[in-house]
Structure 1
Amino acid sequence: MLNLPPRISSRLNSSQFANLHTFLVAARHLSFARAAQELCLTASAVSHRINRLETALAIKLFKRMTRQVSLTDEGERIFEILQGAMGELSEALEHSSQADIAGPIALYVRPSVAQCWLVPRLADFVERYPLVSLDLRVGNDNVDFRTRNIDLALYYANGEFPGLTSMRLMQERLAPVCSPEYAQRHRLQEDPYNLRHCITLHDSLAWDHAAFDAEWTLWAEQHQMLTALPKRTLTFDRCDLSVTAAMNHAGIAIGREQLVQKHVQSSELVLPFGGFSQCGHYDYYLVHPPQNTVPKRLQVFMNWLRECAQHTAL
């Protein structure tokens, strides 16, 4: 329910609801021009609607600058109330039976997690919930939920997400991996310090603000192997690409157990220095904006992800 304070709700009438919707879109984009594109209006029409709403409510909703706008404190408060009300309305309109759970879910995922862990499992979700439409988007940046219309993100991170709701989905462990031929050629299982003659393969964007060699450094520090790290490197912006390079004898990569274990089991990759180990505090997290009521379609999807994670628990 839209629980506006009495002094605000008393100033609302039926003509203002279109203006409230315009404000909601403009506040999400923090741009009258982008709001106009979404609403099929002109930027001037968006500005006029916001002005009429501000006049009716006697509240300044936006700070207007030369080329951008930002929300005032009151505007931020009204935006949060409206977002919550829209979420509750969407939930109320959904059918109660699980068989009728329907609607879109926009999911943002790191590319390697999507490629190696999530996408191979999606057939099961599609079969269980045929009326849910999943919009999968990938990238290496932390997504702006307000401007990108994302419902849920799946991150490889340290669990710090200020202002957002998060839940650890599954743990991750690391170990160097390479092809059997590469390990034999460099005699890595005979002497771990032969690593210094190798080429290390790096995911240079392992997590937000990570150094290009962050995962190798974590592993080497834990195993007292920093002095053995070679200077020759190849870097990629995805973990799965570095692992693919390792499978094709280009060097030795840091493998994440959740993403490479099938290749180890098939002997496409070997662990020349022993098994996987917990390095640092980087795991997989489900992240979304705070909501009073999580839509049922999102609840069942998150429950399904947890079920998948339990089946692959370390």
Structure 2
Amino acid sequence: MNDANDTRNRLLNGWQLSKMHTFEMAARHESFALAAEALSISPSAVSHRINLLEEELGFALFVRSHRKVELTQEGKRVYWTLKSSLDSLNQEILDIKNQALSGTLTVYSRPSIAQCWLVPMLGDFTRRYPSIDLTILTGNDYPNMQRTGIDLALYFDDTPPTQQSHHFLMDEAILPVCSPEYAQQHALMTHPNNLRHCTLLHDRQAWSNDSGTDEWFSWARHFEVNLPPSSGIGFDRSDLAIIAAMNHVGVAMGRKRLVQKRLDRGELIAPFGDKMQECHQHYYISTLSGRQWPKIDAFIDWLKCQAG
């Protein structure tokens, strides 16, 4: 029994890794015969190596039938993890060889940061670094950067994720914003207590999955303003609240960095003037520890330049 447990709990070593090449070929072709042809060995040798690997790992990788082989669910998990690791390794080798500002760069961002701040400026980056191919991904989660191939992530929060390197990007402040028409309709100019008759628009995931109306109530406490009993309309993205405000739906709690251009264009106004509260959250950049590639450093430097 102990020997069986030892086998089942054994981690990969060099011997299993050498068999992984055979497994990768067989999984890719879904055929021991085609894998044997690619490896210039016999199909029986492929089968023998796979049998040994399955015995050492403690679970089946393939379901064998008379005419074909198919990956088990466990085999599929191992194959896709192996494929992802090989892709990352190949990219790493290319970057080591090039040591230049070229190749792919995958950036993950909170949707509102991407929509309102990052994406409108990307033309400047591509003009400066035409050999870097950018991919922009968005979401409200904290993805596993190693597993998902993300090189760099942008967040707005006060608690950076652990086991990553962090770079401060910029501070933020919040202030109510709405359309000029909505402000006039509800007599808001310099009269914040008239908010009690308004619809509040807010990002329910401002800095975590349960931020709720925290931004509004933090601002109201700071300036001693009475808010309506209803929590208004919640969104999972700050930019959606801003779009609703631009369309006269209500008053949004805006982040100055993200709404400044719309304030400058007159699409939004800040009806209460200088009643702006500094956030204890800030924008920061996360990277994998130890990954100091020229293209990542170039993007970080460019972001800091744009942040002023």
Give 1:221 deviation, angstroms.
2.2
Q: What residue is the counterpart of 1:180 in the other structure?
A: 180
Q: What residue is the counterpart of 1:5 in the other structure?
A: none
Alignment of 1:114-193 (within 5 A): 114-193=114-193
**Residues 1:170 and 1:51: Cα distance change in structure 2 (over 3 Å):** farther
Alignment of 1:92-107 (within 5 A): 92-95=96-99, 100-107=100-107
Q: Deviations over 1:167-191 (max 9, x none)?
A: 1111111000011121121112253
The amino acid of 1:92's aligned partner reads I
Give 1:277 deviation, angstroms.
3.2
- Residue range with higher mean Cα deviation, 251-260 or 185-194: 185-194
Q: What SS does structure 2 have at the residue aligned with 1:171?
A: strand
Q: 2:298 matched to 1:300?
A: yes
Contiguous gaps of at least 5 residues in structure 2: 1-12, 33-45, 60-72, 76-85
* Native 8 Å contact 1:101 1:129 kept in 2: yes
* Native 8 Å contact 1:174 1:277 kept in 2: yes
Give 1:16 deviation, angstroms.
4.6
Q: What residue is the counterpart of 2:70 in the other structure?
A: none
Alignment of 1:4-19 (within 5 A): 16=17, 19=20
Give 1:224 deviation, angstroms.
2.2
The amino acid of 1:235's aligned partner reads G
Q: What residue is the counterpart of 1:26 in the other structure?
A: none
**Residues 1:261 and 1:230: Cα distance change in structure 2 (over 3 Å):** farther
The amino acid of 2:97's aligned partner reads L
**Residues 1:50 and 1:140: Cα distance change in structure 2 (over 3 Å):** farther
Scaled by the length of structure 2, the TM-score of the pair is: 0.71
Q: Which has the larger Rg? A: 2
Contiguous gaps of at least 5 residues in structure 1: 1-10, 23-35, 70-81
Q: What residue is the counterpart of 2:66 in the other structure?
A: none
Q: What residue is the counterpart of 2:232 in the other structure?
A: 233
Give 1:17 deviation, angstroms.
5.9
Q: What residue is the counterpart of 2:28 in the other structure?
A: 40
> Aligned partners of 2:22, 2:256: CA distance in 1, in Å?
46
Alignment of 1:61-100 (within 5 A): 89-95=93-99, 100=100
> Aligned partners of 1:209, 1:285: CA distance in 2, in Å?
18
> Aligned partners of 1:205, 1:223: CA distance in 2, in Å?
23
Give 1:295 deviation, angstroms.
1.2
Give 1:204 deviation, angstroms.
1.6
Q: 2:263 matched to 1:264?
A: yes
How many percent of aligned residue pairs carry the same amino acid? 37
Aligned positions, number = 259
> Aligned partners of 2:216, 2:134: CA distance in 1, in Å?
34
Q: What SS does structure 2 have at the residue aligned with 1:297?
A: helix
> Aligned partners of 1:294, 1:141: CA distance in 2, in Å?
24
Give 1:228 deviation, angstroms.
2.4
Q: What residue is the counterpart of 2:245 in the other structure?
A: 246
**Residues 1:191 and 1:16: Cα distance change in structure 2 (over 3 Å):** closer
**Residues 1:89 and 1:249: Cα distance change in structure 2 (over 3 Å):** same
Q: What SS does structure 2 have at the residue aligned with 1:173?
A: strand
Q: What residue is the counterpart of 2:288 in the other structure?
A: 289
* Native 8 Å contact 1:181 1:249 kept in 2: yes
* Native 8 Å contact 2:203 2:236 kept in 1: yes
The amino acid of 2:260's aligned partner reads Q
* Native 8 Å contact 1:199 1:230 kept in 2: no
* Native 8 Å contact 2:199 2:249 kept in 1: yes
The amino acid of 1:94's aligned partner reads N
* Native 8 Å contact 2:177 2:268 kept in 1: yes
- Residue range with higher mean Cα deviation, 136-145 or 247-256: 136-145
Q: What residue is the counterpart of 2:209 in the other structure?
A: 209
Give 1:88 deviation, angstroms.
7.0
Q: Deviations over 1:52-98 (max 9, x none)?
A: 5997xxxx9x9xxxx879xxxxxxxxxxxx9x998975543124xxx
> Aligned partners of 2:22, 2:172: CA distance in 1, in Å?
42
Q: What residue is the counterpart of 2:254 in the other structure?
A: 255
Q: What residue is the counterpart of 2:37 in the other structure?
A: none
> Aligned partners of 1:162, 1:216: CA distance in 2, in Å?
28
The amino acid of 1:214's aligned partner reads D
> Aligned partners of 1:192, 1:152: CA distance in 2, in Å?
40
RMSD: 3.7
Q: What SS does structure 2 have at the residue aligned with 1:175?
A: strand
